């Protein structure tokens, strides 16, 4: 026996009328799955549609402001949105369809910026500057200042005549984006507050890849990890201020790890006056000058487990004359160096594997094909408390060039192996001039600042 509702002509008509009433009632348009935000508002609700130019910017601005007041996320359907002069409000959660939602700059002097916004979330967007003019007061295509919670992911940003993305006095996460074609650098992060830069592809930029800077030296604590940086030029020239894949300047406590950096005009990774910096596990290919640099006014640099193939010089922990000291250079592979660099040599020498000057240990590295010197220990009187142990140097002009200038401090050179070193395995230098015979057998009694023990040459 079964029980159920008795369906009559009256109940059928009543149900049909109710369904029609629901279908005809006004309702808010919500994005469903593509936005990544449950319940995201759809841009069409605000009259923002692909293809319109002006007054599209005014509608776009009104849409952002309205969403901020509701504290609601926004979803942009696929299409081309041509806009300029956008100010991001206090809260922005804007998403699109990766590769299909395009925000294109129309060239009115300013594209997009935020000042003091609490939360900025951008995802799944293509932002195209079209290489159009930016006003003199604009630093970048997208500029974010004083924004404590930045989350930019899955964004393709390209074609800025200046910087691509400028993030100032802000924190958060910049992850899995593609930044390309910037006239200056793809990403400029200055005075950051715990920023994480991870998984980005930065390429074909005019003067730099990822820059982590401060206006005055201090704690920054930015993490730069897992990025791919390639084809970085130095269109503005110089001797190292431009043309770097990852550049740290005055920023302390920065970690640069597990990045793949190739074809940079100067350094793959360059830290200038950055104390407590860690440069770990990076692959650095085809660098124009020094592959990895820790220079000027720093205390504390760990450079370990990196692979360097192709550069003018390999690794330097130097500038003791400017306060550069306290480092560990360990477990790196440095190979295939060149005797020429990107500028005319003026007191600078190319074809050197690893250089160190003060309170630094150089241990367990492998250096191959260094045309000038495999190791450079000290420079003139700028040598103090350097330990060189357990390294392998193969095919070098001189295996280890150590300073014997008056006033040079102590160096321990022990248990290293030298193979095919044409000029000498270990030799004393007065600046760039070789002034001793081979010291590999410990024949440096006339230089009491040197301890030479257990080294081998073949």
DSSP 339-386: S--SS--SS---SEEEEE-EEEEEES-EEEEEEEEEEEE-BTTB-EEE
Per-residue pLDDT, 7: 41
Q: Is the pLDDT of residue 19 over 70?
A: no
With beta carbons less than 8 A apart as the criterion, state whether 94 and 63 touch: no
**Reduced to 3 states, what is the DSSP secondary structure of residue 208?**
strand
From 180-189, 285-294, 340-349, 418-427, the region with the lowest mean pLDDT? 340-349
Query: Cα–Cα distance between 206 and 451 in angstroms, integer?
Result: 46
Which tens digits make up the pLDDT trace of 229-240? 999 999 999 999
Query: Cα–Cα distance between 458 and 454 in angstroms, integer?
Result: 13
Average pLDDT over residues 117-125: 98
Per-residue pLDDT, 49: 86
Q: Which two tokens stand for residue 379?
A: 């420079």
Query: Cα–Cα distance between 398 and 424 in angstroms, integer?
Result: 5
Q: What share of the chain is helix, strand, coil (3-state, %, to 5)?
A: 10, 50, 40
Query: Cα–Cα distance between 128 and 252 in angstroms, integer?
Result: 33
Confidence of residue 56 (pLDDT cuts 50, 70, 90): confident
Per-residue pLDDT, 38: 57
Q: Is the pLDDT of residue 199 over 60?
A: yes
- pTM surpassing 0.95? no
Query: Cα–Cα distance between 393 and 418 in angstroms, integer?
Result: 5
Per-residue pLDDT, 27: 36
Q: Is the pLDDT of residue 54 over 70?
A: no
Q: Is the pLDDT of residue 259 over 50?
A: yes
Mean pLDDT of the chain: 91
Query: Cα–Cα distance between 401 and 193 in angstroms, integer?
Result: 41
Q: What are phi and psi of 297, to 5 degrees?
A: 50, 45
Percent of the chain having pLDDT more than 90?
85
Per-residue pLDDT, 346: 75
From 42-46, 86-90, 103-107, 416-420, the region with the lowest mean pLDDT? 42-46
Average pLDDT over residues 379-404: 98
* Residue the block writes with tokens 């200056």: 184
The domain spans of the chain are: 37-147, 351-458
With beta carbons less than 8 A apart as the criterion, state whether 192 and 211 touch: no
* Residue the block writes with tokens 């692909």: 50
Per-residue pLDDT, 441: 82
Q: Which of the two residues, 50 and 22, has the higher pLDDT score?
A: 50
Q: Is the pLDDT of residue 261 over 80?
A: yes
Strands (E), 70-125: 74-75, 79-83, 86-87, 91-95, 101-105, 112-115, 119-123
With beta carbons less than 8 A apart as the criterion, state whether 393 and 421 touch: yes
Burial category of 15 from C-beta neighbours within 10 Å (exposed 0-12, middle 13-18, buried 19 and up): exposed
Per-residue pLDDT, 331: 98
Burial category of 66 from C-beta neighbours within 10 Å (exposed 0-12, middle 13-18, buried 19 and up): middle
Average pLDDT over residues 135-162: 98
In DSSP terms, 266 is beta-bridged to none
With beta carbons less than 8 A apart as the criterion, state whether 268 and 246 touch: yes
Alpha helices in 25-173 (DSSP H): 56-70
Query: Cα–Cα distance between 197 and 34 in angstroms, integer?
Result: 25
Which tens digits make up the pLDDT trace of 285-331? 999 999 999 999 999 999 999 999 999 999 999 999 999 999 999 99
Per-residue pLDDT, 42: 83
Percent of the chain having pLDDT more than 70?
91
Per-residue pLDDT, 253: 98
- Residues 6+ positions from 342 with CB-CB distance below 8 Å: 234, 243, 265, 266, 288, 289, 312
From 13-22, 62-71, 127-136, 211-220, the region with the lowest mean pLDDT? 13-22
Average pLDDT over residues 360-373: 98
Q: Which two tokens stand for residue 337?
A: 């160096």
Q: Is the pLDDT of residue 31 over 60?
A: no
């Amino acid at each position: 026996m079964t029980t159920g509702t008795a369906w009559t002509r009256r109940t059928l008509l009543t149900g049909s009328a109710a369904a029609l009433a629901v279908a005809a009632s006004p309702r808010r348009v919500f994005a469903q799955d593509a936005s990544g935000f449950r319940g995201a508002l759809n841009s069409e609700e605000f009259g923002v549609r692909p293809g319109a130019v002006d007054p599209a910017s005014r509608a776009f601005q009104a849409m952002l402001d309205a969403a901020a007041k509701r504290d609601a996320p926004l979803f942009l359907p696929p299409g081309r949105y041509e806009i300029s002069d956008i100010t991001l409000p206090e809260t922005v959660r804007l998403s699109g369809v990766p590769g299909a939602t395009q925000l294109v700059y129309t060239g009115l002097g300013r594209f997009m910026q935020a000042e003091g916004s609490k939360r900025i979330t951008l995802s799944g967007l293509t932002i195209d500057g079209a290489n159009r003019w930016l006003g003199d007061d604009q630093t970048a295509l997208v500029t974010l200042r004083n924004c404590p919670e930045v989350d930019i992911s899955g964004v393709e940003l390209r074609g800025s005549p200046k910087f691509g993305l400028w993030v100032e006095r802000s924190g958060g996460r910049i992850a899995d984006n593609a930044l390309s074609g910037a006239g200056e650098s793809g990403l400029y992060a200055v005075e950051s507050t715990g920023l994480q830069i991870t998984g980005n592809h930065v390429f074909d930029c005019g003067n730099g890849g990822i820059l982590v800077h401060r206006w005055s030296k201090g704690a920054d604590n930015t993490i730069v990890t897992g990025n791919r940086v390639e084809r970085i030029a130095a269109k503005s020239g110089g001797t190292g201020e431009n043309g770097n894949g990852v550049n740290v300047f005055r920023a302390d406590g920065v970690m640069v790890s597990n990045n793949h950096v190739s074809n940079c005009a100067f350094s793959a990774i360059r830290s200038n006056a950055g104390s407590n910096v860690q440069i770990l596990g990076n692959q650095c290919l085809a660098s124009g000058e020094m592959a990895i640099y820790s220079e000027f006014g720093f205390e504390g640099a760990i450079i370990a487990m990196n692979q360097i193939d192709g550069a003018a010089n390999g690794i330097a922990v130097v500038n003791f004359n400017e306060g550069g000291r306290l480092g560990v250079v360990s477990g790196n592979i440095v190979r295939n160096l060149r005797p020429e660099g990107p500028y005319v040599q003026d007191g600078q020498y190319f074809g050197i594997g690893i250089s160190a000057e003060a309170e630094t240990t150089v241990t367990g590295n492998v250096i191959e094909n260094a045309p000038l010197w495999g190791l450079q220990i000290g420079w003139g009187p700028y040598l103090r408390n350097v330990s060189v142990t357990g390294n392998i140097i193969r095919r070098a002009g001189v295996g280890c060039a150590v300073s014997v200038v008056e006033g040079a401090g102590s160096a321990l050179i022990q248990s290293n192996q030298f193979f095919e070193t044409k000029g000498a395995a270990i030799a004393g230098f007065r600046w760039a001039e070789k002034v001793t015979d081979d010291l590999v057998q410990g024949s440096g009694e006339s230089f009491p600042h040197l301890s030479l023990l257990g080294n081998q040459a073949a």
